[in-house]
Amino acid sequence: MLHRKGLLELSALLDRKEISASEIARSYIDHVPAMNSRINAYITFEPDKLIASAEESDRRRSSGSALSKFDGIPVAIKDNINTEGTRTTCASKILENFVPPFNATVIEKLKAKGLLIAGKTNMDEFAMGSSTENSSFGPAKNPYNTERVPGGSSGGSAAAVSAFMAPAALGSDTGGSIRQPAAFCGVTGIKPTYGRVSRYGLVAYASSLDQIGTFGRSVDDAAALLEIIAGHDPLDSTSINCESDISASALNGSVKGIKVGVPAEYFNGIDIEIRSIIEKKIDALENLGAEIIPINLKYTQYAIPVYYLIATAEASSNLARYDGVRYGYRSPDTKDLSSLYLKSRSQGFGKEVKRRIIIGTFSLSSGYYDAYYVKALKGRTLIINDFKDAFSRVDAIISPVTTTTAFKIGQMSSDPLQMYMSDILTISANLAGIPGISVPAGLDSNGLPVGLQIMGNHFMEQKILEVAKTVESTCEKISPAI
């Protein structure tokens, strides 16, 4: 049953020499394949590599040269993070057989501390989506109800952690892709400040919004993993050169004197049960000494259109590199260079990715650039100013993560606009570059998890983790009946 233990629990057991890394690896190797046939959380799971790296870790530990207290613990990695020697598909046919020649910086950081790669997780193709249905490897399922989506785009990472297929995981969040699946799968997920974690080796979707973050079954686990991957990286020019103060062991779960803002706009159109669960948690925080302050984030309604112009514009440029020449899928029946481009891209990309490349190319084209792209940038500034204003008065902002709990597979796939709307509460944090965390707040009457979001000012991860830990302490622990 080692696979049911969290990151810090495993670390303590290893430290006391009660278990070995090989035993942990074997527990996952016994559990994952059968569970994956139901949940489809992993695209790539390589038992031989896992056991070999666990044995190496055991040798380090027995010779007294363990790399850290986490040496030997496997974590799941979203399949848009490059892993040397292990394929990195972005859940796309165009990268189906792409094996990167280098590791992302976050992978190097995990390896430097002796952590192991459990496997590569399912996602929406190129991180475009909110349900993990846009995967060319088939949809991932929600461990609480396999007829429902796990959320997206990091749905595989969230589902893997929820279904005990990994103690913790890495994901990426461009508009909510860590927080929304964390909420749907009943786990904790944090999107750090833009620039806090290196994006080097993360396959780019929308570069001004993308950020790598972590999932855990507890706030402490998500924080501990974030502590390992945070920090400056000269290989990423947008990485911020400042000391990270993120510390899982310094969290004490106290909110005394913390000013918590509650934005009215984030409670419009919310499922009634979600609303009442979140409101109860706000009351609980007040009872524990937080000061609750009603606030407004008045430009929230612009977040979706602004995001879908900026993200698609950046994506259309980032995805130009998949041309069938340099790497990835190449169409076999082409007669000249332009048909090679055309056919490789037409056959290699899925429908949603093509839709976004077309929208992005359109909004950047001459004649439309000012009307769409530049206008979206102005809208982004208004949203940034909203947060600046709010954080001059409060330390943290609380809201629901999603307007509904996990929806049914297929329910929204024919209506992209409705799917886009499902990110309404998470996208603004990416536009402003601020950190956000989703922490489980309870279950609705269908037994589906409800997430609570806490946003903080730039580099205030430690503060929002503290609030999250307090929320966690007021909740009964939830886990899926699988």
Q: Is 68 a catalytic residue?
A: no
By the rule CB under 6 A, 173 interacts with ligand GLN: yes
Which CB, 177 or 457, lies closer to ligand GLN?
177
| Sign of the C-alpha dihedral computed for residues 97, 103, 107 and 113 taken in this order | positive
Which CB, 129 or 379, lies closer to ligand GLN?
129
Rg (CA), the chain: 21
Q: Work out how close the CB of 372 gets to ligand GLN at its nearest, in angstroms, rounded to a whole number.
A: 17
CB count, 10 Å around CB of 22?
A: 18
Which CB, 109 or 356, lies closer to ligand GLN?
356
Which CB, 79 or 423, lies closer to ligand GLN?
423
Of the ranges 94-102, 114-122, 175-183, 410-418, which one interacts with ligand GLN (CB under 6 A)?
A: 175-183
Of the ranges 57-65, 128-136, 140-148, 261-269, which one interacts with ligand GLN (CB under 6 A)?
A: 128-136
By the rule CB under 6 A, 177 interacts with ligand GLN: yes
CA atoms within 13 A on the CB side of 326: 6
Give the per-residue contact string, 411-430, with ligand GLN (x = CB under 6 A; - = no). ------------x-------
d(CA 136, CA 123): 9
Instruction: Return the residue of 83, 153, 188, 318 that touches ligand GLN, per CB under 6 A.
Output: 153
d(CA 293, CA 29): 48
Closest CA to 79 of 189, 142, 172: 172
d(CA 398, CA 407): 23
Count of residues binding ligand GLN (CB under 6 A)? 13
DSSP string spanning 113-174?
Answer: TT-EEEEEE--SGGG--SSS-S-TT----BTTBTTB---SSSHHHHHHHHTTS-SEEEEEES
Q: Work out how close the CB of 423 gets to ligand GLN at its nearest, in angstroms, rounded to a whole number.
A: 5
- Sequence-distant (≥ 6) Cβ neighbours of residue 441 within 8 angstroms: 277, 278, 281, 450, 451, 452, 471, 475
Q: Work out how close the CB of 47 gets to ligand GLN at its nearest, in angstroms, rounded to a whole number.
A: 29
**Backbone region of residue 415 per phi and psi (left: phi > 0; alpha: psi in -120 to 50; beta: other values):** beta
d(CA 424, CA 27): 39
Q: Is 78 a catalytic residue?
A: yes
By the rule CB under 6 A, 310 interacts with ligand GLN: no
Which CB, 92 or 174, lies closer to ligand GLN?
174
By the rule CB under 6 A, 233 interacts with ligand GLN: no
Of the ranges 52-60, 126-134, 325-333, 444-452, which one interacts with ligand GLN (CB under 6 A)?
A: 126-134
Which CB, 78 or 141, lies closer to ligand GLN?
78
CA atoms within 13 A on the CB side of 28: 32
- Sequence-distant (≥ 6) Cβ neighbours of residue 199 within 8 angstroms: 207, 210, 211, 212, 236, 238, 239
Of the ranges 122-130, 387-395, 398-406, 449-457, which one interacts with ligand GLN (CB under 6 A)?
A: 122-130
Find the helix or strand (DSSP H, E) in which 440 lies. strand 436-443
Instruction: Return the residue of 116, 127, 197, 313 that touches ligand GLN, per CB under 6 A.
Output: 127
Q: Identify whether the C-beta of residue 309 lies closer than 8 Å to the C-beta of residue 376.
A: yes
d(CA 151, CA 304): 17
Q: Is 49 a catalytic residue?
A: no
Q: Work out how close the CB of 437 gets to ligand GLN at its nearest, in angstroms, rounded to a whole number.
A: 15
d(CA 480, CA 9): 19
Q: Name the token pair of 455.
A: 């946003």
By the rule CB under 6 A, 175 interacts with ligand GLN: yes
Which CB, 209 or 290, lies closer to ligand GLN?
209
Which CB, 173 or 466, lies closer to ligand GLN?
173
Which of 53, 57, 78, 141 is catalytic? The answer is 78
By the rule CB under 6 A, 251 interacts with ligand GLN: no
The distance of Cα 368 from the centroid of its chain, to the nearest Å, equals 32
Instruction: Return the residue of 27, 40, 82, 130 that touches ligand GLN, per CB under 6 A.
Output: 130
Q: Work out how close the CB of 158 gets to ligand GLN at its nearest, in angstroms, rounded to a whole number.
A: 12
Active-site residues, by number, are 78, 153, 177
Residues of this chain that interact with ligand GLN (CB under 6 A) are 127-130, 153, 173-177, 205, 311, 423
